[in-house]
Amino acid sequence: MENSHALVIPYPAQGHVIPMMELSYCLMHRGFRITFVITEFNHARVMTALPKTGGVNGQIRLVTIPDGMAPGEDRNDVGKLCESILRVMPCGLEALIRKINESDHDTITCLVADWCMGWAVEVAAKMGIRGAAVWTVPMGLCAVMFHVPKLIEDGILDADGFPKKQQMIKLSPTMPGLSTAHLLWLCIGDRVSQKSLFQYFDGCTRATKFADWFFCNSFYEIEPYAYDLVPKVLPIGPLMAGRRHGLLEGNFWPENSTCLSWLDEQPARSVIYVAFGSFTIFDQCQFQELALGLEISNRSFLWVVRPDLTNGSLNAYPDGFEARVANRGRIIGWSPQQKVLAHPSIACFLTHCGWNSTMEGVSNGVPFLCWPYFADQFQNQAYISDVWKVGLQMKPNSSGIISREEIKGKIDELLGDEGIRARSLELKRIAQKNVAEGGSSYKNFDDFIESIKSGSVREISMNGTVNWLSL
Ligand code: UDP
């Protein structure tokens, strides 16, 4: 089909906008025009963060719809955000699609929705538009979501998604165990918001039954058991957004690229890269302990300290810290992370184990120091340290603090471990093979493009009105 036009809709958070933007570029390179739907709030952030010399590629059109929250409301309150999304965005999306489709030459060919916006696939199906659901999280989490009914049936969860008792669950004998305490919807807020988050994510998963294609941003070899559990989901990753050279990547904070020239001056494999994604928040005490750990490591480091990284009004460093480390430490507000991880000076990645960060480290063969914060990050940490064995886990002391001695000790241990380094490089090779022409992820994506372009018309086999809330 000539002039394919995809409407791409990410969940409105940094770790979702970036991979969905990358997917949009991949589609664009295959001749698609893209309408990228972003909330008004995030659009303002992305445009403010865009470098002066950068730009939006003409093939990717950003359009906004409101998320239903007031400008000053806390969007890190995920329960509230999801409630609001559900209240206003399905109608907003439907109106947007109708408006676009009024024009004969520009109608939407397919909708590509983040799994956390699964309701969008249903909106599209109702309008006769084919849809793809994309898991921007590990396939392991996708498998858990698809098995929620079974977990309820087996008495592990109650109907509201709360574990009947705390235990380790394994969906298959080869899958790493997952503590029920770390289930996605239990990681934030009080019981009321946990219940509503469970209903939101479970609803999104069920709504994806209206999708024609199911994809995940990972690759088969790193999670074979999870793909085997839900065979309809196909890997298309790792999606990488770091090669855009000033074009829109979807960053919420302005990138400080001066760190790249600083990295150029450092010896190969000498710098510890420290970054905790977009969501992690430290208390002041842990923040200072981390600073002191980096200081006593006696190594060079590049540390991303977002303006809102701590729960204090200021990110307060220990007295004299910045002066003492000035000759070997760089601290910046937001990095061009993928370029940093691809830099030969990087020795290891001290990370919160967000899925994008995990995929980016894996794709560059960088060993990990794992410091998970919430949600799927505990599962990702188990992959890194226990399954793939390409990193080490930071362990808190009896007061729940990861001490400066633990930080220094784990850095030394990791950098002295040639086995970890060798396995990291092997994983990089497999990741790259998957997305190179002829690789499995490449082929899955290619089949998707071809099936859209062949223009086969969707047969809608739904009865009655679609109402995703009633699923
Ligand atoms: N990121 C970045 N610069 C930074 C820190 C993070 O560009 O200084 C990007 C990173 O490359 C990744 C995303 O932000 O693509 C964070 O996603 P992830 O899933 O790792 O964590 P989340 O922010 O969702 O917790």
The angle formed by the CA atoms of residues 104, 85 and 98, to the nearest 5 degrees, is: 10
What is the C-alpha to C-alpha distance for residues 324 and 271, in angstroms, rounded to an integer?
17
Query: Cis link prior to 238 (omega < 30° from 0)?
Result: yes
Which pLDDT band, with edges at 50, 70 and 90, does 311 fall under?
Answer: confident
- Torsion sign, CA atoms 241, 43, 78, 371: positive
Ligand 1 binding pocket includes 353 (Cβ within 6 Å)? no
Ligand 1 binding pocket includes 277 (Cβ within 6 Å)? yes
Mean pLDDT of 95-114: 92
Q: How far is the CA of 422 from the centre of ligand 1 (A)?
A: 25
Atom of ligand 1 nearest to the CA of 13: 24
Task: Indicate the average pLDDT of the chain.
Answer: 91
Ligand 1 binding pocket includes 14 (Cβ within 6 Å)? yes
Q: How far is the CA of 42 from the centre of ligand 1 (A)?
A: 15
Among 248, 318, 284, residue whose Cα is nearest residue 401: 284
For the stretch 318-326, contacts whose Cβ atoms lie closer than 8 Å and that sit 24 or more positions apart, written own/partner, are 318/288, 318/291, 318/292, 321/291, 321/292, 321/295, 324/295, 325/294, 325/295, 325/301
pLDDT at 247: 64
pTM: 0.94
DSSP 9: E
Give the tokens for residue 370.
Answer: 């794992």
Do β-strands 168-169 and 178-179 pair in parallel, antiparallel, or remain unpaired?
antiparallel
What is the C-alpha to C-alpha distance for residues 370 and 452, in angstroms, rounded to an integer?
40
Query: What would the pLDDT profile of 197-235 be if each residue is shown by its tens digit?
Result: 999 999 999 999 999 999 999 999 999 999 999 999 999
In this structure, which residue's CA is closest to atom 24 in ligand 1?
Answer: 15
Ligand 1 binding pocket includes 377 (Cβ within 6 Å)? no
Ligand 1 binding pocket includes 337 (Cβ within 6 Å)? yes
Mean pLDDT of 300-315: 90
Query: What would the pLDDT profile of 14-54 be if each residue is shown by its tens digit?
Result: 999 999 999 999 999 889 999 999 999 999 999 999 876 55
Phi–psi pair at 17, nearest 5 degrees: -65, -40
Structural domains of the chain in order of their starting residue, each with its CATH number: 5-243+436-470 (3.40.50.2000), 258-431 (3.40.50.2000)
455 CB burial (10 A radius; 0-12, 13-18, 19+): exposed
What's the half-sphere exposure (Cβ side, CA atoms, 13 Å) at 328? Answer: 16
pLDDT at 466: 32
Atom of ligand 1 nearest to the CA of 351: 20
Determine the residue of 187, 302, 337 to mutate for testing ligand 1's pocket, defined as the one with the most ligand atoms within 8 A of the Cβ atom: 337
**CA 16 to the chain's CA centroid:** 5
Confirm if 16 and 133 have CB atoms less than 8 A apart. Answer: no
Mean pLDDT of 342-349: 98
Determine the residue of 11, 14, 279, 339 to mutate for testing ligand 1's pocket, defined as the one with the most ligand atoms within 8 A of the Cβ atom: 14
